[in-house]
């Protein structure tokens, strides 16, 4: 079948329909309107749409009192156990981290951002040890330690920067840690920003040529991690009532039962810092027949950095999961990989920022909600 433009069709401006006649081999024709792809940075309320609710109204409706919650500042680092520290160290170096400290049984990795380290690995059988969140104060650390089932507050005497940590377990047994008191990390240089030339007169890059150096995609910071859980409702209540997590987006399925039209099955949650802009999500949770960690995700500089990092990992024969593409919720450029122990890990860039004025959104769950472009999502991706 050949595509030919109708003799009566006229060239039109970007974003407008373009009448096209498709002529088949048998001479039959079909007229259609083609509209080019387009992208824009639109206000949060417009992007989220009508299926939304002000965050303050959501808190009131579900009975959340923010003053009673542990006040987190940011996601600090991930904690995993690996059987082969040499193997995972090689992978994480290729992933864009660097070793800040190592002992016979522990390794701390950092990025070029403000954190002492973004990933902690200890030797032992494969095990997820949870995400660690920095809290506002020593009093907030004590508040976390007072939650039923919390372990003791311990000194991070051997960790870069020191500080203290307390670890809890959620109702399904997933660990979550809180840290406070680490010394400020030494500052690292940030990558230079590439200048882009667009069409028309918007071409600021004159007599400057873009050049790139192959290598790993340098990690800036830890952005988020996600869990697959068996009792989504109970888990959501535990996390949002104890800690200052705020839902940014829910995904739902039809027929929630008990007279409900829909049932929430996944949440993208941010840390509620009031007016302060924060990442679209720091924590992701999805209902699943089995309980397990899904992935953790680290920020890199930009689109080119991500592609060069993908090329580097592929050249080292690591196993790609899904990417590169762009998510819808959060807008991030994504690239998922398997580490050498069998954990999923992601590079991302260019994510959305939200605050207390961003409404809570709802959308239908499904593969089509995961990405606006990129390779086809693996059927098992959210299993």
5 band by pLDDT with thresholds 50, 70 and 90: very low
In a domain, 42, yes or no: no
Q: Range with the lowest mean pLDDT among 49-53, 229-233, 366-370?
A: 366-370
Whether residue 86 is found in the same domain as residue 16:
no
Q: Give the model's pLDDT for residue 51.
A: 96
In a domain, 190, yes or no: no
Would residue 355 count as lying in a domain? Answer: yes
For residue range 296-336, what is the model confidence (pLDDT) as tens digits?
999 999 999 999 999 999 999 999 999 999 999 999 999 99
Domain of residue 295: give its range. 50-184+216-373
- Cβ neighbors of 189 (< 8 A, separation 6 or more) are 112
C-alpha closest to that of 113 among 130, 94, 96, 89: 96
27 and 168 fall within a common domain: no
Same domain, 262 and 339: yes
- 30: confidence class by pLDDT, cuts 50, 70, 90: confident
User: Using an 8 Å Cβ cutoff, are 55 and 360 in contact?
Assistant: yes
State the pLDDT confidence band at 10, using cuts at 50, 70 and 90. very low
- Report the interhelical angle of 303-315 vs 85-95 (nearest 10°): 140
DSSP secondary structure, 151-213, as one string: ---EE-TTSTT--EEEEEE-TTS-EEEEEE-PPPPPP-PPPPPPP---STT-----S------
Per-residue pLDDT for 95 more than 50?
yes
Cα–Cα distance for residue pair 273/55, rounded to 1 Å: 12
Name which of 245-259, 276-290, 350-364 the model is least confident about.
Answer: 245-259
Burial class of residue 198 in the structure, from the number of CB atoms within 10 Å of its CB (0-12 exposed, 13-18 middle, 19+ buried): exposed
> Is the residue at 284 inside a domain?
yes
Listed residue (47, 75, 73) closest to 330, CA to CA: 47
Same domain membership, residue 26 and residue 97: no
Instruction: Give dist(CA 126, CA 343) in Å, integer.
Output: 9
- 114 and 173 fall within a common domain: yes
How many CB atoms lie under 10 A from the CB of residue 57?
Answer: 12
Distance CA 284, CA 271 (A): 12
Long-range pairs of 107-112 with CB within 8 A, sequence gap ≥ 24: 108/159, 108/160, 110/160, 110/185, 111/218, 111/219, 111/220, 111/221, 111/222, 111/298, 111/299, 112/188, 112/189, 112/190, 112/191, 112/218, 112/219, 112/220
> Are 144 and 7 within one domain?
no
- Per the CB < 8 A criterion, the answer to whether 116 and 169 are in contact is no
pTM equals: 0.92
Q: Is residue 274 part of a domain?
A: yes
Question: Which H helix or E strand runs over 29?
Answer: strand 29-34
Q: Check residue 31 and give its pLDDT.
A: 81
The answer as to whether 43 is a domain residue is: no
What mean pLDDT do residues 337-354 have?
98
> Is there a single domain that holds both residue 249 and residue 360?
yes
pLDDT above 90 coverage of the chain, percent: 86
The rounded radius of gyration (Å) of the Cα atoms in the chain is 23
| Residue 227 pLDDT greater than 90, yes or no | yes
Q: From CA 329, how far away is CA 303, in angstroms rounded?
A: 18
Specify whether 6 is located in the same domain as 111: no
pLDDT tens digit sequence for 127-159: 999 999 999 999 999 999 999 989 999 999 999
Q: Give the count of domains, the chain.
A: 2
**pLDDT surpasses 50 at 11:** no
What CATH number does the domain containing 58 carry?
3.10.180.10
Residue reference for tokens 């499904």: 366
Q: Looking at residue 255, what is its pLDDT?
A: 78
Task: Kindly indicate the confidence band of residue 346, based on its pLDDT and cuts at 50, 70 and 90.
Answer: very high
- The pairing of strands 98-102 and 106-110 is antiparallel
Segment 205-225 shows an average pLDDT of: 98
In which element (H, E) is residue 45 found?
Answer: helix 44-48
Query: What tokens were used for 25?
Result: 């081999």
* 28 & 144 share domain: no
Choice among 14-18, 92-96, 160-164 with the minimum mean pLDDT? 14-18
Task: Indicate whether 14 and 66 sit together in one domain.
Answer: no
Query: pLDDT class for 4, splitting at 50, 70, 90?
Result: very low
Counting Cβ atoms within 10 Å, is residue 134 exposed (0-12), middle (13-18) or buried (19+)? buried
User: Is residue 67 in a domain?
Assistant: yes
Q: What percentage of the chain reaches a pLDDT higher than 70?
A: 95
pLDDT band at residue 26 under the 50/70/90 scheme: confident
pLDDT exceeds cutoff 70 at 174: yes
Asked, for residue 340, whether it belongs to a domain, the answer is: yes
Token output for 181: 């008191």
Is the domain of 313 the same as that of 239? Answer: yes
Mean pLDDT of 258-278: 92
How high is the mean pLDDT of the chain? 93
Residues 343 and 312 in one domain: yes
């Amino acid at each position: 079948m050949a595509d030919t433009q109708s003799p009566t069709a006229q060239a039109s401006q970007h974003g407008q329909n373009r009448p096209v006649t498709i002529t088949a081999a048998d001479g039959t024709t079909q007229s259609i309107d083609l509209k080019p792809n387009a992208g824009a940075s639109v206000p949060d309320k417009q992007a989220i749409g009508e299926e939304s609710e002000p965050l303050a109204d959501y808190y009131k409706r579900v009975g959340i009192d923010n003053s009673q919650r542990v006040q987190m500042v940011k996601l600090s680092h991930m904690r995993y156990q690996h059987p082969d520290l040499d193997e995972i160290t090689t992978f994480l170096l290729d992933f864009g981290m660097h070793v800040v400290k190592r002992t016979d049984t522990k390794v701390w990795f950092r990025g070029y951002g403000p954190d002492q380290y973004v990933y902690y690995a200890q030797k032992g059988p494969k095990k997820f040890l949870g995400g660690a969140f920095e809290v506002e104060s020593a009093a907030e650390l004590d508040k976390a330690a007072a939650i039923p089932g919390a372990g003791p507050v311990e000194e991070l005497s051997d960790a870069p920067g020191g500080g203290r940590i307390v670890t809890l377990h959620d109702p399904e047994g997933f660990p979550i840690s809180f840290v406070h008191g680490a010394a400020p990390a030494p500052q690292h240089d940030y990558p230079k920003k590439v200048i882009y030339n667009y069409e028309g007169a918007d071409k600021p890059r004159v007599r400057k040529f873009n050049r790139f150096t192959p290598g790993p995609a340098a990690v800036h910071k830890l952005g988020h991690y996600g869990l697959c859980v068996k009792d989504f409702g109970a888990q959501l209540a535990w996390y949002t009532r104890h800690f200052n997590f705020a839902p940014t987006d829910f995904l739902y399925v039809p027929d929630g039962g008990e007279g409900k039209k829909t049932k929430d099955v996944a949440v993208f949650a941010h840390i509620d810092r009031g007016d302060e802009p924060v990442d679209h999500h720091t924590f992701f949770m999805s209902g699943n027949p089995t309980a397990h960690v899904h992935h953790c995700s680290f920020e890199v500089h930009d689109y080119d950095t991500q592609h060069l990092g993908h090329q580097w990992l592929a050249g080292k024969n690591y196993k790609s999961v899904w990417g590169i593409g762009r998510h819808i919720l959060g807008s991030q450029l994504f690239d998922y990989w398997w580490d050498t122990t069998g954990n999923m890990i992601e590079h991302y860039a260019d994510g959305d920022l939200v605050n207390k004025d961003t409404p809570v959104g709802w959308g239908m769950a499904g593969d089509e909600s995961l990405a606006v472009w990129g390779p086809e999502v693996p059927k098992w991706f959210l299993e």
